[in-house]
Structures are given as C-alpha cells and as structure tokens.
A and B are shown apart, each in its own frame.
Chain A
Amino acid sequence: MRKVLMFMLILLVGSVQLANAQARRVTGVVTSQDDGMPIPGVTVLLKGTTVGIVTDMDGKYTLDLPADGNVLVFTFVGMQPQEVEINNRTTLNVEMKPDVVNVDEVVVTGVVSGTSRKKLAFTVEKTSGEELNRVPASSAVSALQGKMAGAKVLTPGAPGQSAIIQLRGATSILGSQSPLIIVDGIILDEGREGDTGLSDINAEDIESIEVVKGAAAASLYGSRAANGVIQIITKRGNEGFRLGAGESRTSVTIRNEIGLNYVGDMLPYAKSHPFRVQSNGDYDLSNGARVLDDDQIADNPYLKDYNHQDEIFKDGFTYTNFASVGHATQTANIYLSYQNFRDRGLIEIIDGYQRQNVRLNADFRPTDKLKFALSTMYMNSTNSKTPENVQRSVFNSAYALEPDNNIFDDNEEDGTAYNYDPNPFDSSIRNPYYNLTNRTTTEDRNRYLGNISVTYKPYDWLDLSMHYSLDKYDNKFIDMFVKGYLNSDQGYEGGRKDDWTTIGNSSNFSTSAFMHKKFGDITAKLKFSYLFEKTERERVQVHVRDFATYDVTSFGALSTNHRIRSDKEKITSINYFAIGSIDYKDKIIMDALIRRDGSSLFGSDQRWHNYYRLSGAYRLSQDLKIRGIDEFKLRASYGIAGLRPPFEAQYETYDFADGGAVVKDKIGNRDLKPARAAEFEAGVNIDFLKRFSFSFTYANTKVEDQFLNVPVTAATGFLRQWQNAATINGDVFELSLQGTVFKRGDWSINSGITWDKVTNKVDKLDVASFLVGPNDGSFIIREGADFGTIIGNRFVRDVKDLNANTISQAGGSSAADFSVNSDGFVVLTNTIGTTSEAAIQYYDDENNNIFDIANVNPDFNMSFHSTINWKDLSLYFLWDMTQGSDLYNYTKQRRYFLGTHADIDQMGKPADEKKPSNYYQNFYNQNVLADYFVEDASFIKLRELSVYYTFKKIKGLEWIKELKIGAMGRNLLVFTDYSGYDPEVAIPGNAQENFDVQDAEDVGGGDLTKGTQTYRFDDRGYPYTRSILGSIQIKF
C-alpha cells in the first residue's frame, strides 16, 4: 500500500527539491518534560526554511543544515513549540512541555486569515473532531450539543433527519433559524425549505468545527449570516504534522460501530372505558352503538389489553462502517475515506435510512509560492420513512387505538393482512401496520460537494487566491399507495403515487487578495475579496391515481387522473468585501470589516446593502502580570449581518387554478429589504493557574426589517404582501469554565461547565398581532411580548379568581356556588360527583378568556462534561440541563379527545374522587389550547457517556498504531417532570389535522417555521430515542 501511494505522489509532485550544500550536522533527542520519555514524530525545522526532519521512534533526530540560520523550531501537537538557538552546537537536546490549556488553536472562520484564539476580538467556538467522535453522531453536528454555551442542537428521532440548530437567540419570526453551514469553504445550499441537509455529512471526516454564533462575528458572511455560521473542516491527511523534506507519513483508520436505539419510557394509557357493559363485560350494544354508562365514568375495563406502543415501536439498530487513508509528504497530502451508515429507526415495518459517503481531499504545494487544494465529497442515501405529515397518523394510531383493538386481524373486505379499521366503533381510526405495509414513502438523495482553490504567493506579503465550489444534489421523493388500498375516504382504491424530483445546484466563485506585513510592533493584515453566488433549484411533481393493474406503477400505464406541477428558483448574488486587522505588540488587536452584498432576492429598488464590523481586544495580561493569571483578555465587537427573504417574496404573483385560469395571490414589493441583525458583543477571557480557562460573554442582538407576509386590504384583490415589518431584540449571557481539574501520575481529569441564558422579545410590530407555528398557529407574535409565548384559555384553580365575568360565564350566580374539587380545580359545587362536573375557565374584567399560557424559552441552559483518563482508559460524560422551559403537551390534549390517556382511567380511584369522561373532554376544550396542557419541561439529562480503552502497543501486532475499543450511550438518563416521551422536541414537519393519508403535496411544505426550536410544541412526533453503541477503531 505504501509503495502505491508513494508512486502516486511522485507522479503528482514532479519536482524535487534540491537541498543546499550541507554545511553542518546537528543531532539530539527530544523528550517530554513530564515524564522524561522520548517523543517520536516531533518536527524539527530550521526557522525560515523548509529544511527539517521528524524525530524517530526514540525521539532522536539528525539534521544536516546549511551554513546560515541559527534557530531550530521544535513543534508537536499538544506541546508548546520551542525555538532554540543553535549557537554552533552539534548536539541539541530539547525538553517539550505539554500545552495543556488551549492548544494554540487557529480559527479560520469569520477572520481575515487564520488567527489564534488568544487573539480573537469576538467569539468563535472550536471543537475538534476528536471530541466529536467520542460519541455517536449520525448527524455531523448533533455532537455539538452541550459543548459550547449559546448553541442549542436538537436531533430529531426519525432516521435521516438533520439536526436543528439555533445559535444564541431567535433572529427571525417566520424564517429559518438555521445558521449558514460551510464545509471546507463550500457554502451549503439551504434548499427551498431552509434544510441544509446536514444529515448528508458524516462525522468521522471532521477535523474540527468552528461556530460563529452572532452577527458581531459573522458579518464576514454578510446577508446570509444573521443566524450565525458553522464551518466544518474535514481532514486533509496530514493530521496536523508538518513534514520535512523527503518525509512521508501514511495513516489508515478503520472504525466500526454498532448500536441500539430505543424509546425510554412508553406512555401509560387508559385500560378502562366509560361505556355501558353487560354483565360479562362486553359492550352493551342494544341501542345500535356504544352508549355511555349512566355514571359516565371510565372504570369499565377493556376486555383485552393490547399495548399499541409496544406493537409499533421496536428497538432500532444502527451501524457504521468507516475507513480512511491519509498520506502526507512535505509538498502534498491526500485524504480518502468511505463511510456506510444505517439507521433502521423504531418502526419495524419501515426499512429506515441508509447512507454512503466517499470523500477525497488533496493539497498540493509544488513550490512554496503555490498551493492547490481540492475537497470533494459524494453522498448517496435512501430513506424509507413514515411520511412527515402522516407521521402523526402512525403515532396518532398508537394513541388512538383502544386497548381492545386488534391490529393483527385480517381485513374482512379482501382478506389482506392488518385490518385497516380495527376499531369497530370508529372507522376513522386506522391500523398503522396496514398503512405502513401498503404505502411506501421513500426518499433517495445524491449529493456532491466540491471545492477547488489556488493560492499564489508572488511576494511574501501577498497571497492571491481563487476558489470555486459546487453543491449539487438531487432528491427523489416517492409516496405510493398500492391499488386496492382500503380506506373509507375516497380516492385511494385505485392506488396513488406522488413523485417529487428536486434538483439543486449551488456554485460559488471567489477571488481574493490578502496582504500582511509587520511594521515594527504592528502586524497588519488586509484582505480584499469578491464572491459570486449562483443557486438554481427546480422541482417537478407528478401525481397520478388509479393504476390500471396491480404491481405496475410506472406513469405511462394509466388513467387520465393525473396532475403535473413544477417550479424553479434562481438566486444570484454579488458580494465585495474588505477586512483588515491590526495587532500591536500582541496585546491590542483591532479588526474592521466592510462588505457590500447585491442579491436577486432583495426587492429591485433595494438590490445592494452594506454590512460591517468593528471589534477590538486588549490582552491585559501582556501589561499587567497577576499571579496565577496566564491570560486576561477584554474584547468587544459590533457587527451587522443580514437574512435574505425567500425567493418568491418580492414578486407579484397569481396562482394557477385547474384549467389554466389565474387567481390573484400576492402583491410584489420592490422595496423588500433583507432583515438586518446588529449585534454588540463584549466579553472577557481569563486563563489561570496554567490549567483553567474561563470566558464570559454578553451579546445584544437587534434584528430589524423582519420580513413578514402581511395582509393587505382585500379591496386590492390580493391577499398579502411581504414587507419589512418587525424588530426582534434579544440578550444573551454565556459563560464557560474548563480545565484540568486533576493530574497526577496515570490519572487526569478534565472538566468543563457551560451556562447560557437567552431572552428574546418582539420589539416592534407594524402589523396586528398574529399567530404562527404548529397547529394552525399557537404562538403569538405581539409587540412587546416575549418570543415563544403560547396563548390559550385558563382553567380556574383558586376561588380568589372568581370575578363577576368568570362566575357568570360558568353559569353561577355568586362565588358561593363554587368550590375546589379533588383535582384542584374550581367547579360548580352542585356538579361535584355528577356527570356535569367540569372545570371552569377564567374571564377577566373585559370578558376576555385568552391569555399567555406558556413560554418555551428556558430560564437558562447548563452543561457539565468531564473526561477522566487513567493510563489508556478514558471515561467521558456530559450532563445537560435546561431549567424553566415550558412545553405544550398537545399530544396529551389529543389523547384526552381520543379517550385513551391514562388520566381518563378511573379504576382504582376512591369513589368520591372519580370523574366522568365529560370532565376530561371539558379539558380537551374543543381543541383550543389551554393552560391545563402546559407542562414544565425542565430536565437534567445524561446526554453522553462513553468509555474507551486504547491499546498503543500490541505484542505481535506492532504495525497497529492504536486500537481503541469503546462503548457509548446517548440520553441514557433523563430526569424531568414532563409527562411525554421526552422534554426536548422539535417539529420536523407540517402539522395536519386529519387522521389519515393526505396528498403528498402537503409534505412539500415550504413552511419555514417547521424544523425550528423557536416554536417547540409536542404534537405526536417521532419519539426521542436513547442509544447504546459499541465501537472499535484501528489506526495504522
């Protein structure tokens, strides 16, 4: 293998460096100051040249040096670099010290050029691939959760779903909250629905992830960056080593992982019903249908008890196979990897998700003035899923089916398996097994990411570069019902098929000139850049009904019952920017940026907008030496970034009705501007005792010119217009403390705490308040209201709340008519123990009964992680905590309506506390939201736990550099008062009202409020899973 790679490299390289005439020889041993052991692999370079070598297995090196040059530079990852003057010595032994806190990480996102974290004037978080790989990450970014303050990452339970990320506070009322995602300089296309397809990228290729959270830092990315920026940097094959002339290094990694996903706790359900029964317990059907018992109390046991959740949710398995090869020489490096990933998901009948990735990265430096870099990735995935909008039909069935409904009976209509209407008293309740067996929903996806760049250094103070990148994908979504599909709704018996094909193509071209020079104590950097972006997306939908024969489902073979639709989006942008920084004596750093964006998404009279940033940092510790304090930095930054309106927002549009007729839709807006986020961020970083690092940040963000789809007077015939009509304001506090808590001998313990608090308010709203979010709108957007506020009715629990309006609305004449019942609710006293006992609602003095009943935003988030190492054994855990967040349990409200929620079951209650079924239907409140279903979703979770053992030297298998065996778990423990599956939910799809199958066109959605954390709402989604995995990794 090595020989082949060498051959390839020779072909690539072509030129051979001629060393200058050797003048002297220096030798030595490099050891670790900690334990005196020699360190192999240390790079020894003659400063200012490329003459160098790497220490061997015994830490020894021998260098033949030219006549001039007096300083040798010793570098090794994890150690503090050393510069040693030769001074005519021929033997130079060096001791290296570990660089414990803040391996001098270099950040490349949002800055003029690679900058050490010590010198950043704003916050950029960086996580290494090593930290991310400690735990399973089917989605590349999910593992960021809990690692940095101010970043919230939710991983939905369904296989193949991308993580939903929110950095700091909400920046947008109706739009996407997703940050801009960049992979090796390729800006990912966010698709028509704001989904960047992060689930397409595998985690093992990641070298590091840099997260820029706010506009104060992200302004470099201009009008796309108000939600923050995440840059994923993949491996290049050199693993951070700098190699000397003639040196080469190959490394191979093979990793396999296998795991199990399961639902934590199933939800309890009612095992008794309120219907009249005969003496043997069967329903009394003498009236033709089921009738309520006289007392209407649900204490008649169902004669059978099928646990439908157990029938539907089965433990799912996942596995990952991964292999990569990296090879590096002084002038070139190459990285090639392959990953196969499978996630079966919790639903047995559905095949789940399968994905394959191939990556090739290569860098080539033929001379020290020229560099080429190539980064490419290809991905292919298939997802067999429960369709998003009917996902609730599968899960809804788990709740709607009564315990005595048998889903395994055959259909009496045609003898096929799984009785489609297993509830004899309500044919609208469907059999999930029937649905899943006779309906297939699949999504096939191909994606190609590529970036090629050239950098030319004509002078040592000037870098010229050019980049071209491409994000190309195609997506095919098919939703098909077989012919003969049983359903009492019409239109399915002949079979149906919907085929959505989406093709997207996003390409960027940029050039830049980067100048850097040191003038005395001042290091100045300046970069000019030009970026051209072009995105084209096309979507075609074909819908057919009534197949001619069974098993033939191609579009040619059938009826005239079909419909075809298509649409196209084209987006272009031209951006110019200039960014500079000045560094005075390494202690005062100033940074300024200006950027001008022109985009086809802005209204035609608003094509160009400017963005800028100004920031500064002062490293106090350079001037003031305080004992114990290694680093003390004060920083402040002010930056402006933007958010672009959706494609169709600026245009006046008519819709097409069947037959070609046109109908008015919305008015255009030539003055539509992008939203403008202005953020001020200030903070302090303190490193102390040589092993701890502390940071505190305060940020205030004001996002103006929110684009909203605003109603206009119907007299225009148009319904709405996109206008810039609101301002959101938010405050963020972030805190983090990490370091080495303990280190002695074979033991070391590294821990960290992060803490953050985010508040968001609608500062200004130029239109009337409106509802937004799931369930036809549950969250109120109102001037002055906190973001994330849910409105609804209130049930009365305290007799003090009995004002005149409440009393009369409840049918009473005075407060004396009421008392508090055994549940803690105020009811009319004379109804207690009767079938009309019902909690009453509160009306205020204006006779209004709609109030703010919940707020999904937490008081604060906190996480605590720790890595405990003992020799080659490593234990890692992460605890995540959210305090004070409300969650609306709409699933519970639906289960009240269906009569299957465990609360409705009165068996076992003392007779004077039993309540009739109507009492619970009253809480259902005709589907109007009520405070009864608001629950505290505070939680403490053991989010990640892993144990690894690393074998460094195996007798007989010395060619293996490292063998790592481990076990990991996610969400293993959850402590919460929340009664649903899990207190962390995000809505991945549209909310629909009907029980069963819908036109797949509803799946296409386009509702950007889905997939956000801003409008968290528990509505019968895919349960959050817990996982246990084992992995084995070999490096050689």
Chain B
Amino acid sequence: MKTLRYTMCMGLLLSLMLFSGCEDELNVINENQPDTERVLKTAEDAKSVVDGSMAAWFEGTNGYNVLIFNLAADQITTTNAWRSFWNFAKEPRVAFDNTTISREKIHLEDIWEDMYGAITSANDVLKVISSGKTDMGDDQAAYEAAAYFVKGLGHAILATCIDQAFIIEIDSEVEDLELKPYAEVIEAAMTNFDKAIQLCGSNTFTLNAAFINGITVDNVLLGQLANSMAARYSVAVARTASENNAVNWSKVLSYAQNGIEADIMPVNGGENSLWFAAGTGFAWFGPDMRVDQRILNMLDPNQPLMHPLEGAAPLVESDDSRAETYLQWQDNFGWLKPERGRELFSSYTYVKYGNTDEGDGVIPLFEHYENDLLKAEAMIRTSGPDADAAALINKSRVANGNLAALTGDESQEDMLEALFYERELELMLTTLGLGWSDMRRRDMLQAGTMLHLPIPAKELGVLQMPLYTFTPGQEGTASGANAWK
C-alpha cells in the first residue's frame, strides 16, 4: 500500500511537470516589429522597404540638422544653445565638438545614421533582386531604379557633409568595409545616379504613391529627378573655389538639361511623419532662428553687416519684392539672449515655405529654380555669360523679385553674383547644406567655419579610431580668403 501511494504521488507530480510547458513555449515571436527576413519576404514588402528608404532619406536631410549648415553659412542667426545651435553662429568660429557627450553630436549622428539607414535598406533590396531571393516580377526595373536613386542620394549627402565615409555596394561585406575620402564617395554616388537614369530611360513604370509622399513618380519623372540630383551634388561637394573650378561643368550642364521641369514638392505629412521638415518649421516658428544680417544686407545695402549692439536694425527697404513676401519682421527679439551677443540678433524670420510645423505649407524636394540656376551656372562656367543664362536667372529674379532683368551682357562676375543672390533667396532653408556649400565653394565662409564634418564620435568608438575634429585655423576649415566679413 505504501509503495503504491508513493508511486502514485510521484507519478502525479512528474506528469504534471511534463504536461505543463514545453521547450517550444520559450520561442516567442516579436509581433510588434518585423526583422529583415519578414521585411523582404515578398515583392510588396521589398517595395515598401524602398519607399521607406526614400522617406528616411528625406527625413534625415530635413531635420533640425539642416539649421547648423544655414547658421555656418550666415543665412540665419541665433543665440539658442539647445542642441548647441549657438555654437555654429558664434563669431569667431569654434570647432565642432566631436565627442560622445557633446550637445551637438546629435546633428552629425543623425546625418551619418539616417544616410546609412537609407542606403543599406535600398541596398538590401538590390541584394535580394540580384540574388533572385525575392521575385519582383514586372516591378523589378522600377524598384531597382528607385533603389539606385536612393543609394545615390545617401552617398551624395555623406560626400557633401563629411570628410570620409563607407561606400556600400551590393557585394559589400560589413567587416571588409574601408573608409574612403569624399572625392571617391561622390564618384560612387554618381555611378548610382547613372544606373538609375539608365534604368529609367529603358523602362516604363510608375512607382508606389508612398515613394515620394503625394507625388506620382513614373520613369520619366524619376529620370529627371536623378539628373537634377546628380547636377546638384556634383557641384555641392566642392569644398573650395579651386575645387569648384575643377568640377566637370559640361557634365553638370547635361545633367541639368535632362533635369526636372516643375517643382517637386512632397505633401507635408506632419510632425509624426518622415515627410516633415522639422528644420524649416523650427525656423519659421521664429523666436530664435532669425535671418542673418548678411542676407538682409544683400537685399538692402543700407543694412549693417552686424546687428547693432543697442536697439534694433532699421527696417529693410529693398527693390526686391521678396523682402516683403519671403521675410517677416518681428517686433521683439523673442528668445534671443542679449548677454550672448546682440551682434547676433535680427528682427526678421524667413517665411517663404509657410507654417510647415502645422502640416501646412510646402516642403520642397527639388525646386525648378534650383535646376534652372544650375543650368545657368553651368552655361556661364563653360561658355561664358549669355542671354540664355540670363533668362534662366530672370525667372525668379523678375517674376518673384521684380528686379531689373539681366541681359546676358553683364560680366561673368556680375552674372554669378546675381545667380547666387537668387540661389540664396529662393533656396534658403531647404535641403541639407545647400546654402553652406554655395558659400564654401566661393571661399566666402567666415574664417574658421567648418568645410566639412568629421565622422561622429559614436562611430569612431565602434571602429576603434581616435577622435578627431576640424579646428579653426587648421585644415578642414575655411581660410577666410574671400570671407564675406
């Protein structure tokens, strides 16, 4: 009896233990977020990844980090130290604080990480297409073109803003990647753009509506956009006037001639969307991102180059109508702090794009003015000033600014000055680094201003490389040879 009781008890216990819970229970799937396998499983999924990479590129080039380049170019001014914006406006210039604990590291990290996020996602799709893992069917050419386009964009930004970067190819292995100087990175970007252009030329397709928010992109439009982007970045990457002169301007001309004809303005998705221009919105908001006296002086030569230390600067009086439409005067200095230097003050905000913070307003991806002006500049630099170039510059100069039209008989210097005036006024606060690259390729940045940024300290830590940055007075910063002041 006793043994029976005993075995019964043990048996009961054991069976209970065995029944409840098997090893399999421990394998729990994450239902909240997919992984690469799930994300690239079907053609629809892969297309979604490409769409996402484009959106990610847009978000990464329209965030608050846009503003540091505008500040460095003295297009806008501030005393706001949040995320160290003030550091970029300080005069004399200070070095970029490249450590894992600086307050400005986030701007650089965002560029580095967002670009690689976009590049590698697009690259993943190219990998599964080339290996045949995912069958894209009829959409293969379309999304290959789109993926190459995004890869081009990503590498182009890295080449424009940072001194060196990794080039990601379909057959790249992460362990074997080596850093390449920006001159090689921009070459890789151009190769990607060319591939995209070629695929657009030899196929007919239409991409998902999500690719560029609210815009139907077919092979024609994508091809034009790729040409325009190629034109833009071939030029933007120049660090100095001598590099600018070394750009292949005839190639730029042919890209621009095949470029867009109308504005590409994605729909503003609002602050929770990737299709949102946080930087522009922040500047529109006004209390502490103001239009720099340099721009005001450009519009009205009576304006001082530096804001007075007492009181306010006089109102802008200009022949250019955009002084009324693109600028707005504020009756107070908002959050600008006098103890940080009233010479950094200004009473004007830039309102061309409207209140983009609220989901209203427009956020440009590429304006036709930019393409026209690239064309004009390429014409001038290859064959000298002429009426065709003047006509292109007049498009915004006359229609928007109501200024006297150019004839084409002006000197190269005067034509270029008028051209850059247009670029400055029409394209301020748009995509990352544009205004800054315009200043740097004319050697016009203040002495000590950064010519490019280093690799973020976070990445240097992962790569086990020593920290570095670019200090005023040393290489990587503007010489001030042609500084505007």
A contact residues vs B (CB 8 Å cutoff): 287-289, 292, 425-426, 428, 456, 458-459, 462, 464, 466, 490-491, 509, 511, 513, 530, 532, 534, 563, 567-574, 598-600, 604, 607, 647-648, 651-665, 668, 711-719, 767-771, 776-777, 780, 791, 850, 917-918, 921-922, 926-928, 993
Contacts and interface: CB of A to CB of B under 8 A. Distances in A.
A289 B332 contact: yes
Interface stretch (B113-121, B139-147, B251-259): B113-121
A918 B20 contact: no
Contacts of A777: 101
Interface residues of B, number: 79
The 9 closest A-B pairs by CB, nearest first: A717-B120, A661-B52, A768-B461, A926-B81, A653-B33, A652-B35, A918-B339, A714-B116, A490-B358
A799 to B, nearest CB: 25
Nearest to A993: B82
A769 B9 contact: no
Given A288-B312, A661-B55, A663-B117, A713 B35 contact: no
Interface string B421-462: 000000000000000000000000000000000000111011
Interface string B14-29: 0011001101011110
B30 A464 contact: no
A615 to B, nearest CB: 27
B274 A464 contact: no
Given A653-B33, A712-B462, A509 B20 contact: yes
A715 B168 CA distance: 8
A657 B56 contact: yes
Nearest to A777: B101
B86 A926 contact: yes
Interface of B: 5-6, 9-10, 12-13, 16-17, 20-21, 23, 25-28, 30-36, 39, 48-49, 51-53, 55-56, 59, 81-82, 84, 86, 100-101, 103, 112-113, 115-117, 119-121, 123-124, 166, 168, 174, 177, 210, 213, 269, 271-275, 287, 311-312, 331-333, 335, 337-339, 355, 357-358, 457-459, 461-463
B274 A651 contact: no
B52 A573 contact: no
A665 B33 contact: yes
Contacts of B333: 289
Contacts of B357: 490
23 contacts: A289-B333, A426-B335, A458-B6, A466-B16, A569-B32, A573-B26, A574-B23, A648-B30, A648-B32, A651-B35, A652-B36, A653-B33, A654-B35, A654-B36, A655-B33, A658-B269, A659-B213, A660-B210, A713-B174, A718-B117, A768-B458, A768-B461, A780-B101
A667 to B, nearest CB: 9
Nearest to A657: B274
B32 A607 contact: no
Nearest to B269: A658
B26 A600 contact: yes
Contacts of B332: 288-289, 425
A95 to B, nearest CB: 44
Contact of B120 (A598, A651, A715): A715
Contacts of B33: 648, 651, 653-656, 665
Contacts of A534: 25
Nearest to B285: A489
A401 to B, nearest CB: 17
B272 A661 contact: no
Contact of A658 (B13, B39, B117, B274): B274
A426 B112 CA distance: 36
A532 B86 CA distance: 57
A604 B27 contact: yes
A54 to B, nearest CB: 35
B452 to A, nearest CB: 17
Contacts of B274: 657-658, 661, 663
Given A717-B120, A921-B339, A769 B100 contact: yes
Contacts of A648: 30, 32-33
A928 B82 CA distance: 10
B30 A651 contact: yes
Contacts of A652: 35-36
B13 A464 contact: yes
B35 A574 contact: no
B157 to A, nearest CB: 13
Given A604-B27, A658-B273, A927 B81 contact: yes
Contact of B39 (A511, A662, A714, A850): A662
Contacts of B120: 664, 715-718
A568 B32 contact: yes
A572 B25 contact: yes
A572 B177 CA distance: 40
Given A532-B21, A661-B52, A715 B28 contact: no
A653 B35 contact: yes
Given A714-B115, A717-B116, A717-B123, 5 more contacts: A464-B12, A653-B32, A661-B52, A717-B117, A718-B120
B238 to A, nearest CB: 25
A600 B5 contact: no
A597 B121 CA distance: 37
A691 B53 CA distance: 74
